[in-house]
Structure 1
Amino acid sequence: MNASGTWKVGALAEASGLTVRTLHHWDTIGLLSPSRRTPGGHREYTEDDLARLYQVLALRSLGLGLETIAACLDGGVDPTRLVRDHLAGVEAALASLTTLRERLQHLDAELTAGRAPSTTDLLDALQATGAAAVPERTQVLRDRLDADQLRLLQDRATAVGPAAHYLLEVEWPELYRRADRLRTAGVPPTDPKVRRLVARMDELSALFSGGDTATSTAVRGAWRDAPQAMSGERPGSTEGWGDLADYVDLAREGAPE
């Protein structure tokens, strides 16, 4: 660190474990640009730049691409939300598996002892598998997509890897929220800010549908008809999202308001 409290690119590269070439590239693509330059044109990174670097590295460690990371950070999405949501999902999955393990062990003990499991034991085990408690979003999609389309979404999500959780649970709903804020502020759907949001929505749709038009259309219908379930928002917070769906369609088509 310099006496002025800034970092030269070489020092920052050494401290972060990155290469100078990587930092130069991230500056070129706008992912991490230094806030200051010396009179001679040399890069100087401030504490705010270091905070952004930490966010970039945290998101990259979860498998997100550089373009996605840039879109998330520039859109004001808090990276801590990603970590907390992901952690909550992992903990919930562990709790469910622990419950299932205990109930299956009980069934195994009963059968080994030559006793027929009770109806209660069987129903408890069935519930623990998740067959009796389907998440609301999953049920909404099952109501609108056929088996092949559901399998396609699952396969694509698996292929995306760890980033799928973030893209589906955090970024996609946030894109809709930001579009709704622009709509309620009176920004026309043809405004470039709105068009960029919708373009990102469509990019995510193509990522998870593999470009299958019928599947993408069905998922859009789910967002239109059941925004609370799809976004995970609290009851009442998605009022007016039917109008938002029309607004997004106008932005997508480039039609006048």
Structure 2
Amino acid sequence: MSNLMRIGELAQQTGLSIRTLHYYDEINLLSPQHRTSAGHRLYGEAEIARLQQILSLRQLGFSLDEIRECLESPEFSLPKVIDLHRHRLREQMALSRTLLDRLNGIATELETSQSVAVERLIQTMETISMTQQYFTPEQEKVVEARFREEEGKWQDLLDRARSEMEKGSDLTSLSARRLARSWRQAMKSLICGDAQIYKSLIGMYQQAGPEAASWGTLDTATFEYILKAVSFLSLAEEMDMVIPTAQIFTPQTQEVIQLGQDTLRQLDIGVFGTEGLLLGLLVQGKSIAARVLVEAGANLEAAKEAIVQILASHPTPPVDPSSDRLPYAPRTKRVIELALDRAERGDRTGIVPEDLLLAILDEAAEGGGGVATHILQEEFGINLPNLQQQLRSARSQ
């Protein structure tokens, strides 16, 4: 038993995480044959040689399922894996010369003695782990800092995803869509528009897999569920089917949306932008949001005139009389996403009109704002932060 290695020791010497080794065992990719009396894993030469092959194939871009198929094939041996890895290293040129030299040494030993020292395998795996850095040091610091700022949110997202999977939730359900929106927004916050971080993140998931990520306990099944939910949400958005009003809007908010749609049709405007939300709030006139708008100086007729003037210089598609509703502009979809987030944080079952107005102001702070915020500021001279504070005060009364 003296030649056997505990999982912590193996992880330390190879640069892998204990969690990754546990995961390899769970999926029967690398299962040690020996255990201590307390049940702790012990790795021998056979397992270490197999791990060497796993890491080499991983860096070649093989998925874990593909690696399992390779290792179960009698034609796939350690010398063949090393040769493949050496070839890939020469092509990439970005990997260290040290790794190539060590792999050359292993290849020589295999050619002469058909075996290789465990120490040499350990050294090679350590070097492989060092070269499997998908982010530059600067990117790694940025991503790590952003993740740590919202670590609780990431873990909550994973817990929600697992809960949806266990319940067997339909991927097109409201709860799955909420999960997809939250995940997508979290990823946007993590990447922050940095194309290089985006590319590095994609490379990490393609080559290392979600189970290798350090963010929470992201396993392949959970990751795939989230990706499918995001894909279905994106498809629904593309087909303009993402906003099931009966599910996410309260009856009062449904009335606001419908009145906004009707008013824009009267103005011969063919797209439902944020100005439609503003019009709907003013026409409906019964909500706290409408009262705060009027008290701040907003006026329905002046808003309609301003909208016509603004959009006259930006032609919109003609109104289709056969359509049940006007298509939502991208900015409007984003506002509704933000409103839904507010409703969820407030533990409400649907979006109320005040959520819509606050979301319009949130989107203005986030993305510059649309026609609605332009009218509020330029036509009515309303200070948006003050309006937000007034609305919050009115809601709390």
TM-score between both structures, scaled by the size of structure 2: 0.22
Normalised to the residue count of structure 1, the TM-score between the two structures is 0.32
Larger CA Rg, structure 1 vs 2: 2
